[in-house]
Amino acid sequence: MSQKEIVYVLSDSIGETAERVVKAVAVQFQEEEVEIRHTSHVSKKEDIEETIQKAKSEHSILVYTIVVDHLRDYLNKRAQEENITAVDLLAPLMEVFVRKFEREPSHTPGLTHVLDEKYFRKVDAIEFAVKYDDARDIDGIKKADIVLIGVSRTSKTPLSMYLAYRGFKVANIPLVPEVPAPTELFELPKGRCIGLVITPDNLNAIRKERLKKMGLQANASYAQMDRILEELDYAEKIMKRIGCPVINVSNKAIEETANEVVDILDL
């Protein structure tokens, strides 16, 4: 069995980007014959010097993603002095960006990892909103960043999803006179729950349209004004008992309501 070729990967962050590129290339040369060794979170010259000495003794290649200028310059200088092949994966594209955008980069390490964390937080929030939509699981009330309550057709679900896309875990609970409100709602700390209300006329029009799309009669109890007033009155009593802020969603875009929620709860 032939000895593995060693590639040192250096980064002032985790080093995932460099590792992916090295593996993509290594697979073209029988990946199992290449060993990748990491030096992550490079923050001082001593970190680089240690790897330089190892790479020199093992006749290895250095591949790096370092955005801090003085560290990158030091690595390049030492690699040349020791006759080590060093490949800067970011510099060529960075230079193109500088020319195109006509401004300098921030030279801040770890930004990719920060973006990844935001992405996964967003995914978790969306999965949370789906799981705890429409009171499917009452346990979501205590786990949520935001709990939305209101009668049917007050935009609870689309608002939950929009807020989830912004990274907030949202549970929503419909308020129905015949169904007791979950006790968990009254145990929530202040600043976690928002009540959604709407004018009776707007709700009547929305519900009639909903029935029409479902192929049902528009004069069903669901869309009758007496029923609507009863539901709104019940919801108002629950919201007062909880003591939560209330937003009137009549004729408001989801984005506008979402901004109000975030502002009111100071998130």
pLDDT for 31 = 61
Q: Tell me: do 41 and 86 sit in the same domain.
A: yes
Q: Tell me: do 25 and 136 sit in the same domain.
A: no
Residue 92's domain is classified under what CATH number? 3.40.50.2300
Point out the annotated binding site.
Answer: 150-157
Q: Tell me: do 158 and 251 sit in the same domain.
A: yes
Q: Could you tell me the residue range of the domain that residue 162 belongs to?
A: 116-264
Comparison of pLDDT for 54 and 30, the residue scoring more: 54
Q: Indicate the pLDDT class of residue 1, thresholds 50, 70 and 90.
A: very low
User: pLDDT tens digits for 61-102?
Assistant: 999 988 888 898 999 999 999 999 999 988 888 888 888 777
Domain boundary among 74, 109, 144: 109
Q: Tell me: do 123 and 245 sit in the same domain.
A: yes
User: pLDDT tens digits for 3-50?
Assistant: 788 999 998 887 788 888 888 888 888 766 788 898 888 888 998 999
Residue 141's domain is classified under what CATH number? 3.40.50
| Predicted TM-score (pTM) of this structure | 0.61
Number of structural domains (the chain) is: 2
Q: Tell me: do 121 and 251 sit in the same domain.
A: yes
Domain boundary among 109, 137, 164: 109
Q: Tell me: do 136 and 206 sit in the same domain.
A: yes
Tokens 């073209």: give the residue.
28
Q: Tell me: do 121 and 244 sit in the same domain.
A: yes
Point out the annotated binding site for ADP.
Answer: 150-157
Q: Tell me: do 38 and 162 sit in the same domain.
A: no
Q: What is the mean pLDDT of residues 224-249?
A: 97
Q: Tell me: do 211 and 257 sit in the same domain.
A: yes
Q: Tell me: do 188 and 141 sit in the same domain.
A: yes
Q: Tell me: do 125 and 52 sit in the same domain.
A: no
Q: Tell me: do 102 and 120 sit in the same domain.
A: no
Domain boundary among 109, 133, 162: 109
